Structure 1
């Protein structure tokens, strides 16, 4: 099995855990928690900034003892936009599940730590359609570079069955602005219906890294460098939650030259 693939765990609890140390990189952290109604998920941001994303379900949320109310709305990541919470460094947070809950904890280094805690409601989120034909996918910007944060970028994408995404292949592994930015990235994948599968390839120009992975519901893929396209199989829609971070908070990517003609077709 690829070292870039973190297989889904069944049941409740802390079911996915990616740290800079475990991934062998510097910036991105990703955790996924599942809880049943009445259970509590809690943590501390420490020296990082954190974005909580309510992938599914609802929960009563507090940060540093301040009640943020009942957050969450959708019961499937394929239905509507998420609720999220941004917090800077040195925050204690907790979520008491009101329903079955799937909570993503996206983290990256905090360079300033002076931004306020804020709730990001579905109505605050921009959506866009990218691509054409069988390269069409639907993007929800949770924490884009136009919104305040130190280093985190967070986005959701839904790719219909039979379509490709993160395609034509692109990369962002060079700190070479304005042409390209260095960003590490995680993909948290969900499938609808859940018994489906999809594919993701992570590769570099010289093929020193070249991994092709079958993706199942709940899997996490780590992208330390290289191109990273996805393909959703017929009959199964693919959702993924992306977390990106690097030394500069901007998304400037480089298309694979041999496939860039697709941008003009």
Structure 2
């Protein structure tokens, strides 16, 4: 099936981490941009729509239609600043201190407008039940004007499960499930911690369990994909999805569907 788990951290500059070819991804690409204090970089992605999500650091963000100073101490204390860019548009990133961005791409539309997303425009919500509570923030939800991408962040509190009850989104069944591949980029606090990521599907004959460290990336081409944070450690993951139809429609593993009614959940997300 190809590579599913990539260990961080990643080199300075723009690093291509997971994309079609070495991985089973078809639509989605993810990279990182790491800058040392005082450095800068200019990036252009001719064929891809791009979302840049600030993970940590302070500096300047400039694109043809605007500029802004950005500051995020880390993903655990502040909501994201992000920039959506249509294909072909350039961006300049400058760092006042050590800075890290996630760069998420899919084939894009040059006619869509760029858009800045700031912490004040985001709406975090706590979902789940006892033992699987987490905070979800949609950065690019289904209503956001994009071609393929859906992007957000999840904070899973220590001792809790996430992406739970186990759900998947690998079949195209409009109104019930959308076929979307996905990647997770993880941070853990304190950074000495770990998490466990399970990906399984009898239909696709996969059953993988990964030990996750801070900065790792996992590719989820198909299947159910619950993840758990051990007590004492908060797990963050940036999630990015892409497919032909941008809809957050998922189906729960039938063996665990009873949990939706038991906890009176409207959605497994």
Q: 1:208 to 1:26 in 2, by over 3 A?
A: same
User: In 1, distance between residues paired with 2:20 and 2:44?
Assistant: 17
User: In 1, distance between residues paired with 2:95 and 2:154?
Assistant: 25
User: In 1, distance between residues paired with 2:15 and 2:69?
Assistant: 23
* 2:195 pairs with one of 191, 198, 210: 198
Q: What is the TM-score of this pair, normalised by structure 1?
A: 0.94
- State the match for 1:246 in structure 2: 243
Structure 2 runs not aligned, ≥5 long: 263-269
How big is each residue's C-alpha offset from its partner over 1:109-153, in whole Å with a ceiling of 9 and x where there is no partner? Answer: 11x321111211111112111101111000111111122111110
User: In 2, distance between residues paired with 1:201 and 1:16?
Assistant: 24
Q: Is 1:88 the counterpart of 2:92 in the alignment?
A: no
SS where residue 211 of structure 1 aligns? strand
User: In 2, distance between residues paired with 1:18 and 1:42?
Assistant: 21
User: Is 2-11 or 134-143 further displaced after alignment?
Assistant: 2-11
How big is each residue's C-alpha offset from its partner over 1:3-32, in whole Å with a ceiling of 9 and x where there is no partner? Answer: 310001366344561112332322111111
User: In 1, distance between residues paired with 2:58 and 2:223?
Assistant: 36
Q: 1:46 to 1:10 in 2, by over 3 A?
A: closer
- State the match for 1:237 in structure 2: 234
- State the match for 2:265 in structure 1: none
Q: How does 1:59-78 map to 2 (within 5 A)?
A: 59-64=59-64, 66-71=65-70, 73-78=71-76
SS where residue 196 of structure 1 aligns? coil
SS where residue 150 of structure 1 aligns? coil
* 1:264 pairs with one of 258, 261, 265: 261
- State the match for 1:33 in structure 2: 33
Contact kept? 1:185, 1:244, Cα under 8 Å: yes
Q: 1:193 to 1:261 in 2, by over 3 A?
A: same
Q: 1:183 to 1:223 in 2, by over 3 A?
A: same
User: In 2, distance between residues paired with 1:145 and 1:189?
Assistant: 23
What is the number of residues matched between the two proteins?
Answer: 261
How big is each residue's C-alpha offset from its partner over 1:159-191, in whole Å with a ceiling of 9 and x where there is no partner? Answer: 011000001100000122122100010000000
- State the match for 2:266 in structure 1: none
User: In 2, distance between residues paired with 1:222 and 1:252?
Assistant: 19
User: In 2, distance between residues paired with 1:11 and 1:78?
Assistant: 22
Q: How does 1:11-26 map to 2 (within 5 A)?
A: 12-14=12-14, 17-26=17-26
Shift of 1:75: 0.8
Q: How does 1:90-239 map to 2 (within 5 A)?
A: 90-110=88-108, 112-206=109-203, 208-239=205-236
When the two chains are superposed, the root-mean-square deviation of aligned CA atoms in Å is 1.6
Shift of 1:39: 1.4
User: In 2, distance between residues paired with 1:208 and 1:186?
Assistant: 19
Q: What is the TM-score of this pair, normalised by structure 2?
A: 0.92
